[in-house]
Amino acid sequence: MELEGRGAGGVAGGPAAAPGRSPGESALLEGWLQRGVGRGAGGGEAGACRPPVRQDPDSGPDYEALPAGATVTTHMVAGAVAGILEHCVMYPVDCVKTRMQSLQPDPAARYRNVLEALWRIIRTEGLWRPMRGLNVTATGAGPAHALYFACYEKLKKTLSDVIHPGGNSHIANGAAGCVATLLHDAAMNPAEVVKQRMQMYNSPYHRVTDCVRAVWQNEGAGAFYRSYTTQLTMNVPFQAIHFMTYEFLQEHFNPQRRYNPSSHVVSGACAGAVAAAVTTPLDVCKTLLNTQESLALNSNFTGHITGMASAFRTVYQVGGVTAYFRGVQARVIYQIPSTAIAWSVYEFFKYLITKRQEEWRAGK
């Protein structure tokens, strides 16, 4: 296009007189030139005017470039859906993980691997036994993940602007994940206590209400948060590793930060696997605090196990160093699809809601 070298005087006869242009193109070009003249009253900047870059309408919006449309409500809704689906789909494996982390399991509840455990649980205890406690988990996962993702997104952007303006900061990602974990675990911990007690072999609880009532009456309200500090001790490093790994892989697989399902799945799966393997010892201690496993208690203490130090000491006394890695296979197998589902569902709903909001605003 012959824009180079034209001053203010070249506007009058430029677009209209040019051969081969449609009336619409001529009008568009005239508008560009007039804006250039307005900016360069002295004639110096008119020739530097460049037409705006057109976005391919079929390529969809740049997902990460729409922060104004991705509201806190969007993050909360997308996060709640992602959390519920993640926990529901992977719940049978979570049940196996809880049992495999038992320090002194019943002979009938000793399993070699996840598939064998699932088969034996279904065959000997019923088809729906691995799903017992799912309802309380889904109830807790919705608000927990809504707070989790909304807090993460807000802090990630705020801290990144401070630490690395205009860019992505791994320190900001890790710190945002740590703070988001505080809210997530505060909402999720009571559901975790009830869920894991119902998952144990020969659990006396068949309904959530029975378990809640028994824990409240026998151990008090504090029992629902007995593992909270250990949960945080586990989840803070877990989420720091998780978010930093995810964002690092996104930079590699999805540098443009568009909605890209395959990159979200791969990044989420790898991030979950790495974080799960590293933090397995803490997860074993959390399970012990939640379940207050009777055989372990009889072996070591006369009262309840309280606090991370007591849990670590009990695990070592009962099973030695190897006991800290009980259920590591089930934990990693659980986390790979779990985090893949969570991130892919979250990014999809965040993209979908943001896109609908943008279309609604454009149509007003």
pLDDT (0 to 100) of residue 258: 85
Q: Which residue has the higher pLDDT, 284 or 304?
A: 284
Q: Which residue has the higher pLDDT, 182 or 362?
A: 182
Residue 137 within a domain: yes
For residue 234, pLDDT over 60 is answered with yes
Q: Which residue has the higher pLDDT, 171 or 67?
A: 171
- Give CA–CA dist 35/46, Å, rounded: 8
- Give CA–CA dist 251/164, Å, rounded: 15
Is 231 in the same domain as 246?
yes
Task: Give me the chain's average pLDDT, please.
Answer: 80
Q: Are 31 and 38 in contact (CB under 8 A)?
A: no
pLDDT (0 to 100) of residue 15: 43
pLDDT (0 to 100) of residue 140: 94
Residue 35 within a domain: no
Residue 191 within a domain: yes
Which pLDDT band, with edges at 50, 70 and 90, does 297 fall under?
low
pLDDT (0 to 100) of residue 125: 93
Residue 23 within a domain: no
Please provide the distance, in angstroms rounded to a whole number, between the alpha carbons at the two ends of the chain: 35
Q: Which residue has the higher pLDDT, 327 or 212?
A: 212
Tens digit of each residue's pLDDT (9 = 90 or more) over 59-110:
444 444 444 457 899 999 999 999 999 999 999 999 999 998 887 788 888 8
pLDDT (0 to 100) of residue 317: 85
Is 207 in the same domain as 237?
no
Is 207 in the same domain as 348?
yes
pLDDT (0 to 100) of residue 117: 93
Is 230 in the same domain as 316?
yes
Tens digit of each residue's pLDDT (9 = 90 or more) over 247-296:
899 989 988 888 899 999 999 999 999 999 988 888 888 888 887 765 55
Residue 283 within a domain: yes
For residue 147, pLDDT over 90 is answered with yes
Q: Which residue has the higher pLDDT, 304 or 315?
A: 315
Residue 175 within a domain: yes
- Give CA–CA dist 47/280, Å, rounded: 64
- Count the domains in the chain: 2
Is 166 in the same domain as 203?
yes
Residue 30 within a domain: no
Is 109 in the same domain as 205?
yes
Q: Which residue has the higher pLDDT, 290 or 154?
A: 154
pLDDT (0 to 100) of residue 302: 54
Is 191 in the same domain as 322?
no
Domain that holds residue 130: 69-219+338-363
Q: Which residue has the higher pLDDT, 308 or 214?
A: 214
Q: Which residues contact 95 (CB under 8 A, 6 or more apart)?
A: 121, 129, 130, 131, 132, 133, 199
pLDDT (0 to 100) of residue 300: 53
- Give CA–CA dist 82/147, Å, rounded: 12
- Give, in order, the Cα–Cα distances in Å from 347 to each of 74, 78, 152, 241, 342: 11, 8, 13, 19, 8
- Give CA–CA dist 357/364, Å, rounded: 11
Task: Tell me which range, 68-77, 140-149, 242-251, 347-356, is most confidently predicted by mean pLDDT.
Answer: 140-149
Is 213 in the same domain as 355?
yes
Is 178 in the same domain as 310?
no
Q: What is the mean pLDDT of residues 24-48?
A: 44
Residue 102 within a domain: yes
pLDDT (0 to 100) of residue 362: 84
For residue 5, pLDDT over 60 is answered with no
